């Protein structure tokens, strides 16, 4: 079983961590078989699986449902779960109760929460103190989309860089075990990575972070368009479409099924 200590060992030894954001049994199984270090059940499922234009509509029940499937596919992998919008924003008590449900009902190992507001810092402190590891998330935090006015690179001005550096330090101080840095300039990610004892995990944050995370569906090229920071390791969408077209053609012209696929 891969556990939280791999994060600290990797940072100490300068080894890069690999994380994948995914949401179901079969993809989690492939991640585990490929030796991916940890899986995030990201609230990006709101866009990737549900077809919404943001992560905001995702519910706690949906995160629990998907994480149960991921745990079955990856029984030996460290699993982190995104706490969805409005499940950790009203009171620390409610945040702790909701995160507790995720851990109890899914078998996940940790939760991730966005930003570094007062309530996030206090929630991180409380959760860590009761045995729930917390991953932070800074930079382009998708739950703040209405504040940012779109999916825009963060940390471009000196002022916002200083703010993100400060937030990262605060998250480390209250006990976060790792921080995701999303869509920030590489130099800023490098500065944060050098200044923290906990590992940074980058997505669109250059190569100097302690690890990298990509969304499974982006990596395998399911969608026609992907953001600049994604490397498509497979043209999965095209290949799947071709298979579907072939199936259709073979059924229509009587080539499938043959004796081989019949009882
Ligand atoms: O929701 C998600 O998948 C994420 C990662 C992209 C970091 O937050």
pLDDT digits (tens, 9 = 90+) for 84-122: 999 999 999 999 999 999 999 999 999 999 999 999 999
**What's the structural domain count of the chain?**
2
On whether both 38 and 63 belong to a single domain, the answer is: yes
**Distance (Å, whole) CA 248 – CA 246:** 5
On whether both 42 and 85 belong to a single domain, the answer is: yes
On whether both 94 and 215 belong to a single domain, the answer is: yes
CATH number of the domain enclosing 18:
3.20.20.60
On whether both 90 and 17 belong to a single domain, the answer is: yes
Q: Residue 40: name the closest of 8, 3, 10, 70 by CA.
A: 70
Name the residue with the closest Cα to ligand 1, atom 3.
42
On whether both 22 and 69 belong to a single domain, the answer is: yes
pLDDT digits (tens, 9 = 90+) for 150-192: 999 999 999 999 999 999 999 999 999 999 999 999 999 999 9
pLDDT digits (tens, 9 = 90+) for 188-239: 999 999 999 999 999 999 999 999 999 999 999 999 999 999 999 999 999 9
On whether both 79 and 95 belong to a single domain, the answer is: yes
Name the residue with the closest Cα to ligand 1, atom 8.
42
What's the gap in Å between 67 CA and the centre of ligand 1?
14
Range of the domain at 258: 237-263
What's the gap in Å between 83 CA and the centre of ligand 1?
11
- From the candidates 114, 182, 235, 260, give the one annotated as an active-site residue: 182
Q: Which residues line ligand 1 (CB under 6 A)?
A: 21, 40, 42-44, 82, 180, 182, 203, 213, 215
Closest ligand 1 atom to residue 21 Cα is 3
On whether both 130 and 221 belong to a single domain, the answer is: yes
What's the gap in Å between 244 CA and the centre of ligand 1?
29
* Residue located via tokens 């994948």: 20
**Distance (Å, whole) CA 256 – CA 252:** 8
Closest ligand 1 atom to residue 182 Cα is 7
What's the gap in Å between 45 CA and the centre of ligand 1?
9
On whether both 175 and 213 belong to a single domain, the answer is: yes
On whether both 133 and 218 belong to a single domain, the answer is: yes
pLDDT band of 1, cuts 50, 70, 90: confident
**Distance (Å, whole) CA 210 – CA 92:** 29
For residue 15, indicate whether it is catalytic.
no
End-to-end CA distance of the chain: 41
94: Cα separation from own chain's centroid: 22
On whether both 249 and 216 belong to a single domain, the answer is: no
Name the residue with the closest Cα to ligand 1, atom 4.
42
Please provide residue 83's backbone torsions phi and psi, each rounded to the nearest 5 degrees: -80, 120
Residue 220 · residue 233 · CB < 8 Å: yes
On whether both 100 and 32 belong to a single domain, the answer is: yes
On whether both 135 and 250 belong to a single domain, the answer is: no
Residue 189: both structure tokens together? 């990610």
Residue 67 · residue 106 · CB < 8 Å: yes
Name the residue with the closest Cα to ligand 1, atom 2.
42
**Distance (Å, whole) CA 222 – CA 232:** 9
Closest ligand 1 atom to residue 214 Cα is 6
């Amino acid at each position: 079983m891969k556990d939280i200590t791999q994060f600290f060992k990797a940072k100490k030894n300068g080894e890069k961590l690999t994380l994948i954001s995914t949401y179901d049994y079969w993809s989690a199984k492939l991640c585990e078989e490929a030796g991916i270090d940890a899986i995030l059940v990201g609230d990006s499922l709101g866009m990737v699986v549900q077809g919404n234009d943001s992560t905001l509509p995702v519910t706690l029940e949906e995160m629990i449902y998907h994480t149960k499937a991921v745990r079955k596919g990856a029984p030996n992998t460290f699993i982190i779960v995104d706490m969805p919008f409005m499940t950790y924003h009203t009171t620390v008590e409610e945040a702790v109760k909701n995160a507790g449900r995720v851990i109890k009902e899914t078998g996940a190992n940790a939760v991730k929460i966005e930003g570094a507001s007062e309530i996030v810092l206090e929630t991180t402190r409380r959760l860590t103190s009761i045995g729930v590891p917390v991953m932070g998330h800074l930079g382009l935090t998708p739950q703040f989309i209405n504040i940012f006015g779109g999916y825009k690179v963060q940390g471009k001005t000196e002022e916002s860089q200083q703010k993100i550096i400060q937030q990262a330090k605060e998250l480390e101080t209250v006990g976060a075990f790792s921080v995701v840095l999303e869509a920030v300039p590489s130099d800023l990610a490098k500065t944060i990575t050098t200044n923290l004892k906990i590992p940074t995990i980058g997505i669109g944050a250059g190569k100097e972070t302690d690890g990298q995370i990509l969304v499974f569906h982006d990596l395998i090229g399911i969608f026609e368009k992907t953001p600049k920071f994604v490397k498509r390791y497979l043209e999965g969408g095209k290949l799947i479409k071709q298979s579907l077209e072939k199936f259709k053609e073979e059924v229509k012209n009587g080539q499938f099924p043959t004796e081989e696929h019949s009882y």
